[in-house]
A and B are shown apart, each in its own frame.
Chain A
Amino acid sequence: MKQNDSDAALMLKVQEGNAEAFEELMHRHVRQLHAYVFRLCQNTSESEEIVQEAFMRVWSRAKTWVPRRVKFTTWLFQIARNLCIDRFRKQTAKLDSSIDLDLIPDASTNRDKELVLALHQVVQELPERQRTALVLSQIEGWTQSEVAEVMKSTVEAVESLIARARRTLRTKLQVSPTKN
């Protein structure tokens, strides 16, 4: 029955201390949240700690969530983003990720593999706001208005952040046929 409930309906139950509803909510969103956090901080243990802390806050501060004000996923990703920013400020997060080049299709050229390694590096050098906007829109497939809600920003500002991030990636990796 709970599997058919909306996030909002489950959250109302979580607000009453219902652990089963919390489990269902977590099951629905933990992978996507972990992927997002990992892509932001690129650290295995830090990203798992942040995800744990984010869900702990969902549980302990459930009553602060107001259904009509913000979508549950927006609220959850806002919590996780704030935790990531805190870690960046304290500079405790250290990059420890490595790319599994075997994931790239066999048909890929060595040039593609070089590009993947370079992209990985350049994305980490992007400012936090550009990286967040790029990850949510380009990788997670969120609309610009959804990204704007999580970032507490405007659609125009998000569009500009994404454009700057893409331009930086292109120019640093010298992917620009207009120059040829």
Chain B
Amino acid sequence: MNHESFQSFVDRHGTDESLWPDTTEGKEARQLLEQSDLAQKILGENKRLFQLLEFAMSVPHPVGLEQRILRRVTTPPERNWTHFLASWILKPALVALPLVLGFVLGLTSTDSSVFVENEITATQFDDHSDLLAISDE
């Protein structure tokens, strides 16, 4: 193992030697660490970097977060007028809409058929009067 592959090994397995695998590669890494100053320097620099990473990723204390979560869980969701409108008026209205439309369309079509029927009767009457006029002549 050379120093480049030692660095690559540390990237994969971390800086805690106790967690390094007991594979051939792990044994070679431990051996190099014992014999080489540069390997020790590499590991030391990596350890320092990742210690600083913990500071770089420090977390602020979340004040009152637990209480806020509990309040949200135990309090039923607020129902304002839009909820009321949606659940009691809008949804039934949407369900009834096709029915109402069908009813209106039905009414409209009945009216037009009556109108057409009247028109036919009127035409028939005109035909009859024409025939009467011809027979009079």
A residues with CB within 8 A of B: 19, 22-23, 26-27, 30-31, 34-35, 38-39, 44, 47-48, 51-52, 55-56, 59, 97, 99-100, 103-104, 112, 115-117, 119-120, 123, 135, 137-139, 159-160, 162-164, 166-167, 169-170, 173, 175-178
* Cross-chain contact B73 with A139 (CB below 8 angstroms): no
Interface residue? B4 (CB, 8 A): yes
Count residues of B near A (Cβ-Cβ below 8 Å). Answer: 34
Residues from chain A with a CB closer than 8 A to the CB of B4 are 178
Interface residue? B50 (CB, 8 A): yes
For window 34-54 of B, CB contacts with A under 8 Å fall at: 38, 41-42, 45-46, 48-50, 52-54
- Listed from nearest, the 3 A-B pairs whose CB atoms lie closest are A119-B56, A163-B11, A120-B56
B residues with CB within 8 A of A: 3-4, 7-8, 10-12, 14, 38, 41-42, 45-46, 48-50, 52-60, 62, 65-66, 68-70, 72-74
* Cross-chain contact B57 with A56 (CB below 8 angstroms): no
- Rounded to whole Å, the gap between the CB of B51 and the closest CB of chain A is 9
* Cross-chain contact B57 with A139 (CB below 8 angstroms): yes
* Cross-chain contact A99 with B58 (CB below 8 angstroms): yes
Partner of A56, one of B14, B49, B53, B69: B69
The secondary-structure label for the interface of chain B is helix
* Cross-chain contact B56 with A177 (CB below 8 angstroms): no
Some 27 contacts from A to B, beta carbons below 8 A apart, are A19-B73, A19-B74, A22-B73, A26-B66, A31-B62, A39-B59, A51-B65, A51-B69, A52-B68, A52-B69, A52-B72, A97-B60, A99-B55, A112-B48, A117-B56, A119-B56, A123-B56, A138-B50, A163-B12, A166-B10, A166-B11, A170-B46, A175-B45, A175-B49, A177-B38, A177-B41, A178-B3
* Cross-chain contact A38 with B59 (CB below 8 angstroms): yes
Residues from chain B with a CB closer than 8 A to the CB of A34 are 59, 62, 65
